[in-house]
């Protein structure tokens, strides 16, 4: 449970991270450029899924508005990059802006002791207000520095460049490397975070907030902490997203995208990190495939998937699969029990 065991507990994380690294170096040689560019967008969305998996799956915080931080990060990056004329500091600005907003919003929610369901609704509402707000900023009077907000059409995002060298832009293939590396780093970071003392307290709060509080932990502060961190991770996804797509529009804040994020985590499984990431890639290709035909509407299929999982597979795919797996291997029982005790703190 303490420091020494942490590396062993992260074995799974490292295995998946290695698979990611191998994929990162093999993919550009195997796949076509078009697929690589598409994949960059999927990777950005996977970072978003990862951030929700952290805050919801481990923190137990029902954040329905994770796309707000994602979109905020993307907008902050774009506006900052246009004004600074380079992407180096813009990335930092994006992460700080999303985290700062999350801290502010989280302060009101956690210190107001808003309960979980309300929390979901408030975060969702904030997202939708962003949507309607930014949609209206189409006139020339709405600008931040040199960057026009562009209303419904959004803003064209400047591409990433080499650090401190704003003249050498990255090509789509290089952006893919950056995105994949960012995803792996975020994944390892989240995997590490949940094994730390901080992460364990957060899981303890998820399991039983009252007990954690009676043990002397300031649950409000821990919740605010994990909420802020996950917003920062979501902002990284946002930066990658607007680079993959080339522009950022208010549509990131809409109800469909907010729902999509929830669906990834539900399908992948709460309480795991790799599940939602894998589900993102799976569903990304499903929705792209559906986009090619007109018989079934995307909303329709996603709605059915969400209802199906909530009613019949409430744990999600990854925990259900690993549940089957561990049931097969009986000798594991002792470690399983120990692990469960660890989770309950």
Q: 201: which 2 tokens?
A: 């307290």
Instruction: Tell me which stretch binds other proteins (CB under 8 A): 84-92, 196-204, 290-298, 327-335.
Output: 290-298
**283 interacts with other proteins by CB under 8 A:** no
Q: Which is nearer to other proteins, 112 or 163 (CB)?
A: 112
- Nearest approach, Cβ of 286 to other proteins (angstroms)? 14
Q: Which residues from 29-68 bind other proteins, rule CB under 8 A?
A: 62
**139 interacts with other proteins by CB under 8 A:** no
- Nearest approach, Cβ of 103 to other proteins (angstroms)? 14
Q: Which is nearer to other proteins, 297 or 335 (CB)?
A: 297
**In 3D, which of 138, 164, 177, 152 has the Cα closest to residue 36?**
177
Q: Which is nearer to other proteins, 178 or 301 (CB)?
A: 301
**117 interacts with other proteins by CB under 8 A:** yes
Q: Which residues from 250-269 bind other proteins, rule CB under 8 A?
A: 254-256, 259, 262, 266
For the CA atoms of the chain, what is the radius of gyration?
Answer: 20
**239 interacts with other proteins by CB under 8 A:** no
Could you say which of 45, 98, 126, 160 contacts other proteins (CB under 8 A)? 126
**286 interacts with other proteins by CB under 8 A:** no
**133 interacts with other proteins by CB under 8 A:** yes
Q: How far is it, in rounded angstroms, from Cα 341 to Cα 306?
A: 31
Q: Which is nearer to other proteins, 121 or 178 (CB)?
A: 121
- Nearest approach, Cβ of 119 to other proteins (angstroms)? 10
Could you say which of 121, 185, 188, 321 contacts other proteins (CB under 8 A)? 121
Q: In which residue are the tokens 């369901």 written?
A: 117
Could you say which of 48, 124, 242, 273 contacts other proteins (CB under 8 A)? 124
Q: Which residues from 193-232 bind other proteins, rule CB under 8 A?
A: none
Q: 273: which 2 tokens?
A: 């990190």
Q: Specify the long-range contacts of residues 171-177, CB closer than 8 Å, at least 24 apart.
A: 172/33, 172/36, 172/37, 172/40, 173/28, 173/33, 173/36, 175/40, 175/240, 175/243, 175/244, 176/24, 176/27, 176/28, 176/36, 176/37, 176/39, 176/40, 176/43, 177/24, 177/28
**313 interacts with other proteins by CB under 8 A:** no
Could you say which of 146, 297, 332, 335 contacts other proteins (CB under 8 A)? 297
Q: Which residues from 94-113 bind other proteins, rule CB under 8 A?
A: 105, 108-109, 111-113
**In 3D, which of 28, 25, 45 has the Cα closest to residue 36?**
28
Q: Which is nearer to other proteins, 300 or 344 (CB)?
A: 300
Q: How far is it, in rounded angstroms, from Cα 1 to Cα 342?
A: 7
Residues touching other proteins: how many (CB under 8 A)? Answer: 47
Q: How far is it, in rounded angstroms, from Cα 97 to Cα 118?
A: 24
Q: Which is nearer to other proteins, 230 or 257 (CB)?
A: 257
Q: How far is it, in rounded angstroms, from Cα 12 to Cα 31?
A: 27
Q: Which is nearer to other proteins, 86 or 269 (CB)?
A: 269
**155 interacts with other proteins by CB under 8 A:** no
**153 interacts with other proteins by CB under 8 A:** no
Q: Where along the sequence are the contacts to other proteins (CB under 8 A)?
A: 62, 105, 108-109, 111-118, 120-122, 124-126, 128-129, 131-133, 136-137, 254-256, 259, 262, 266, 296-308, 310-311, 314
């Amino acid at each position: 449970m303490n420091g020494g065991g942490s590396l062993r507990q992260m074995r799974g994380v490292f295995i998946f991270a290695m698979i990611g690294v191998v994929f990162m170096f093999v993919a550009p040689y195997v796949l076509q450029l078009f697929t690589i560019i598409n994949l960059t967008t999927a990777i950005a969305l996977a970072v978003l899924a990862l951030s929700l998996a952290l805050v919801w799956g481990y923190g137990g915080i029902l954040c329905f508005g994770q796309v707000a931080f994602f979109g905020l990060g993307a907008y902050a990056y774009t506006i900052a990059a246009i004004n600074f004329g380079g992407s180096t500091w813009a990335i930092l600005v994006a992460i700080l802006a999303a985290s700062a907003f999350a801290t502010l919003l989280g302060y009101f929610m956690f210190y107001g002791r808003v309960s979980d369901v309300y929390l979901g609704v408030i975060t969702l509402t904030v997202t939708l207000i962003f949507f309607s707000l930014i949609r209206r900023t189409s006139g020339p009077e709405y600008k931040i520095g040199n960057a026009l907000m562009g209303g419904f059409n959004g803003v064209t995002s400047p591409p990433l460049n080499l650090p401190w060298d704003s003249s050498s832009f990255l090509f789509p293939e290089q952006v893919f490397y950056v995105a994949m590396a960012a995803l792996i780093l975020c994944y390892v970071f989240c995997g590490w975070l949940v094994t730390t003392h901080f992460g364990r307290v957060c899981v303890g709060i998820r399991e039983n907030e009252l007990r954690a509080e009676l043990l002397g932990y300031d649950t409000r502060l821990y919740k605010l902490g994990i909420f802020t961190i996950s917003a920062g991770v979501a902002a990284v996804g946002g930066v990658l997203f607007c680079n993959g797509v080339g522009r950022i529009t208010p549509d990131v804040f809409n109800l469909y995208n907010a729902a999509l994020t929830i669906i990834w985590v539900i399908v992948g499984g709460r309480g795991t990190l790799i599940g939602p990431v894998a589900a993102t890639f799976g569903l990304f290709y499903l929705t792209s495939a559906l986009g090619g035909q007109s018989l079934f509407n995307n909303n329709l299929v996603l709605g059915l998937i969400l209802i199906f999982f909530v009613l019949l597979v409430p744990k999600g795919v990854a925990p259900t699969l690993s549940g089957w797996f561990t049931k097969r291997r009986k000798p594991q029982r002792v470690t399983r029990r120990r692990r469960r005790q660890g989770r309950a703190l």
